Structure formats: structure tokens, C-alpha cells
Amino acid sequence: MILTPGEITSTRWEVDICIIGSGAGGAIAAAKIASSGQRVLLLEEGSKVQQGDLNQDAARLVPLMYRRAGGLGTDDMSIRILQGKVLGGSCTINWMTCLRTPDMVLDEWGDRFGLEEYRPGEMTPHFEAVEQRLSVHTIPEENHNPQNRIILDGARELGVHAEASANNSVDCIGCGTCGLGCPYDAKQDMRLTYLADAQAHGTTILTGVRAERIHSLSPSQQRVEATILGEGNGAIERRLEVACTKVVVAASAIGTPLILQRSRLNGSRLLGKFLHLHPVTATIGVYDEILDPTYGIPQSTVCEHYSNLDGKGYGFWLEVPDIEPFLAGVNFPGLGRSRRDGMRNMRRMGMIITLVRDGADKRSNGEVRWRRGLNTQSGHLSISKVPSIRYRLSPTDKEHLQQGMEASIAFHFAAGAREVMTMHNQHQTLTSPGQIPPLRRLASGPNQLSMFSAHPTGTARMGKDRRLSVVDETMQMHHHPGIYVMDGSTLPTAPGVNPMITILATVSRALELGDLVS
């Protein structure tokens, strides 16, 4: 059962387990816990959406489904963070890429954090089960649009390996609006899979309800304070309280540490630290032929040839994004006339994104916490605590980003582009591969090179040693028994691939190890 704010009549609930967040982690947790016969209540701040709501109207859907209408970012706005605020979380608006966590990454978790239970052999059954439930399959050769063929053609000419990717779709027609939710229910997102399973086992889902604080009274007695938001305006309408035995926080690597900090459940000094983003930049190739990049399956190809530059699993990989006008309009380089003329020529353009597995220098370059600042949510300016996201690329990660940008330009020229544009604020248009080396002389610090991300992870990382981690191998908080974190924030390092499958499989494994599924 799913209730919207206007349908919620009771403001006090008593259940066994309260789950905060309906994205990948919260959805699979709800499905598996409810299947064991326990009473589960799931709170989702975002709106309920169904197939009929997803009408490709960006002006309506972006504010409805994206946190801060797509304007979430670091404090200095050097990196925009695309994150869902909708039933199903970011899985509702993602581009369907389904890649398993590399073995080298899982082995690093075992070696550095004592997580022997997450070695490749232990994780394989969970990957297989998740992929089966989501209908994950490799995308057939005939379904690559011209833009994705840039990856394949460029790799072939350069003598490197690239391949078809996999996604979670059934009967996808390639309409190209994945970022606005699938209007055909082809995308097998959380709403159609694990959240449907959870409801079949009696889970109640409350949408438009924002969890504010968790009061941990004892390991088996918790209380969650929440607010019911007014439909359409997001204003606080009513208060709601949940009494339960345990709480699962799955509000994302951005939202989870903020809720726990506000609840003073920050016994670990590491809560909110070690934010990873898989920072991304892009290059745009201009071709003689028409590519029509706004149509087709996004990210149907991938090049992971450069994903292990240091021999330790750190580097970058190349994909082709979902190019929709609402995204391209924000990120397209240039100003004024050049920007307008460029957007008019989009039918002949193709984009490659470079995604960096950050954290190569083994230090925390990002943090999520509360700070004092200007708050405008109440309709007027006030000084109060506001969410803060801080992030800096380490020297090695910055070098990998530079190498990725250079590699993607080479791919464009190898695939036949007549010119290539970068995302530098000093607008750059290259007409030959020989112009690649001078790019290193350009400033590429914060707000000098456009960067974005859709993969925040790591702010409540998992590990055996409570001095080095926030949660244990079952994803229960070291310092606060009865409180579990089950989302991307628990990943000990950046996964080095699009994180949906990693989150689903690791939460599945944690549930197998712990006592939440009785």
C-alpha cells in the first residue's frame, strides 16, 4: 500500500521496522525484511509517481523528481550532483546502467576493511539474484544508437577494448528520456521490482513524508519523528511519529549522514566523511552526419580499458550519457551566441563522459555535514543550520580526470568527429588530436572545468574496525545498536562502476549476515 500525504490519516504508527528512503538500498531492505513476516513502514520524502505521471514534460518532472530541481551541488557549486527525490529514489531517474562491482574493488574492501564476507565469491549469488529480479541483460548490437557507437568505433580505431553494457529494461523502445522516468514502464526500477515485492508482503509506504530525527531509546526501541509535507508545495503540513524496534536509514550518501547527525547518532567521528562522487566531466564531438543523440538507449556501451591505471583498481571509464535538453542546456559550454548556436546544432553532436573512481590517494576529500548559513526554505532569509557538501579532487584523481578527458577526445576524433569541445570555462574547440596536449595548461580547478556527478557514496562506510568505519558488516552502526544504514553511504570505497547493482547486492548480503531478516 502506498499513501500520499492527503491519504495519510494516522500520525502515529507502531511497526517492527521503519525504513527511511525508497531507493535501491531501502527498496531491497523493505522487500526482504517484509518477506520474513515483520511489519515494515517505509518513509519517502519524494512524491509517488506512476506511469501516467511520466509524460516527458521536463518543466514539471525535474522539480518533482530531482532534489533541488537538479540544482544540488557542492558548497562552491563546482560539482552538480544529480539525485532523485521521488518514489524509488535515483533508480527512477537513472540511465539503467547495470555493472557489477569489480573483483579488485571487493578484494580491496576485504584487505583494507576486514570485510571478508564481501569477497567476490561471497557476492556472486547476490549479484545474480539482483540481476534476475531487475531483468538485467546485455544490450544487443542492433540497439546501440549512433552516439553510443562512438565508444565502439573509437575504441576499435585506437586499439583498446570497449563493449556493450547491460541495463534493467524490458521491451525498451529507446525513447531517450530515462532521466525523466520511463513513460513506458520498460525500466525495471525499484517501483516495479523490490518496492512492489515489499507491498506484496504487507509493507506500507508513505510518500511526501520527511524523516527529521531518530531517537534511539534502546537497541530494541526506536522512535522516528517525521513531517508530512503539503502536496505540491513541500511545506510542513503535519507531524508524524513512528515507534519501532529498529530503523533502517537509506536516505543516500547525502541525506543519511544529515539525518543521523541531526539525531545526534554520530558516535563515529567518521560519519559524513569520505564522500565519493565518481566526478564526471564531458567532451562533445561535432560530426558531419546527424546523430540525434537525444534518442536511443543511454550508456549502452562502456569502455573500462583505463579503469586500473595505478594497478590498484583506480582510474576512469568512459560512457555515453542520456542527452536530454534539460541536462544539455545546463552543461553545454560557452555563453551567449556560441551557446545558443551550439544547442541548435545538437543533432550532429555526440557526448562522452569520463567517470573517475575517486579515492586513489586513500584520504577523505569530501564531507557532508550541517553548517551555519543562509536558509531560504521558509520563504525568507534566516541564519540557521543548512546542509553542507564539501569536495575536492585529490592530485591523483585530478590526473585521472585529465587523462580521461584526453582519452575521450581521442575517441571522438577516431570515430570521425570534425571538432571536439571540452567543458572548460575558457571555451575550447579542438580540430585535431594534436591539440590535446596543450589542454594541460588550462586551469581546471573548481568552477574552471564543468563537473557533475550522480554517484555519491561513502559517508557512513562499512568495516570491521569501529575506528575506521561507521557501520559493521551487517550495516548496523557500531556506536548505536538498532540503527542500520543500508544505502550507498556504506560502501567502503567508491565502487568504480555505476553503483545501483553494488548497493542492491551489498545490502542483500548485509541482510543475510545480520538479524533484520528473522
Residue 353's DSSP bridge partners are 282, 319
Collapse the DSSP code of 144 into the 3-class scheme (helix H, G, I; strand E, B; otherwise coil) and give the result. Answer: coil
pLDDT at 406: 97
Share of the chain above pLDDT 70, in %: 97
pLDDT at 518: 73
Burial of 203 (0-12, 13-18, 19+ CB in 10 A): buried
pLDDT for 129 beyond 90: yes
Q: State how beta strands 221-229 and 246-249 pair.
A: unpaired
Element (H, E) at 35: none
What's the rounded Cα separation, in Å, for the pair 146 and 426? 29
**Contact yes or no for 81/488 (Cβ under 8 A):** no
Dig out the grid coordinates for 79 from the structure: 560539482
Annotate 185-205 with DSSP letters as a single string: S-B--TTTTHHHHHHHTT-EE
Q: What is the pLDDT of residues 407-442, one digit of tens each?
A: 999 999 999 999 999 999 887 899 999 999 999 998
pLDDT for 63 beyond 60: yes
**Contact yes or no for 274/361 (Cβ under 8 A):** no
Confidence of residue 17 (pLDDT cuts 50, 70, 90): very high
Q: State how beta strands 301-303 and 316-319 pair.
A: antiparallel
**Contact yes or no for 5/237 (Cβ under 8 A):** yes
CA proximity to 503, closest of 460, 451, 453? 460
CA distances from 469 to 147, 219, 274 (A): 41, 19, 10
pLDDT at 503: 98
Confidence of residue 327 (pLDDT cuts 50, 70, 90): confident
- Out of 2-11, 124-133, 174-183, 362-371, which region has the weakest mean confidence (pLDDT)? 362-371
Length of the chain: 518
What's the rounded Cα separation, in Å, for the pair 413 and 302? 17
Beta-sheet strands, E only, within 272-398: 280-286, 301-303, 316-319, 349-356, 366-375, 382-391
Give the distance, in angstroms, between the CA of residue 109 and the centroid of all CA atoms in the same chain. Answer: 20
Write the CB contacts of 196 (distance below 8 Å, at least 6 apart in sequence).
none
CA proximity to 250, closest of 2, 467, 506, 79? 506
Radius of gyration of the chain measured on its C-alpha atoms: 22
User: Looking at residues 220-241, what average pLDDT do you find?
Assistant: 87
CB count within 10 Å of CB 306 equals 17
pLDDT at 233: 62
**Contact yes or no for 401/279 (Cβ under 8 A):** yes
User: Looking at residues 247-258, what average pLDDT do you find?
Assistant: 98
Q: What is the pLDDT of residues 355-409, one digit of tens each?
A: 999 999 987 789 999 998 766 655 566 667 889 999 999 999 999 999 999 999 9
Q: What is the torsion angle, in degrees rounded to the nearest 10, for the CA atoms of residue 330, residue 169, residue 475 and residue 14?
A: 100
Annotate 199-222 with DSSP letters as a single string: HHTT-EEEESEEEEEEEEEETTEE
Confidence of residue 443 (pLDDT cuts 50, 70, 90): confident
Element (H, E) at 275: none
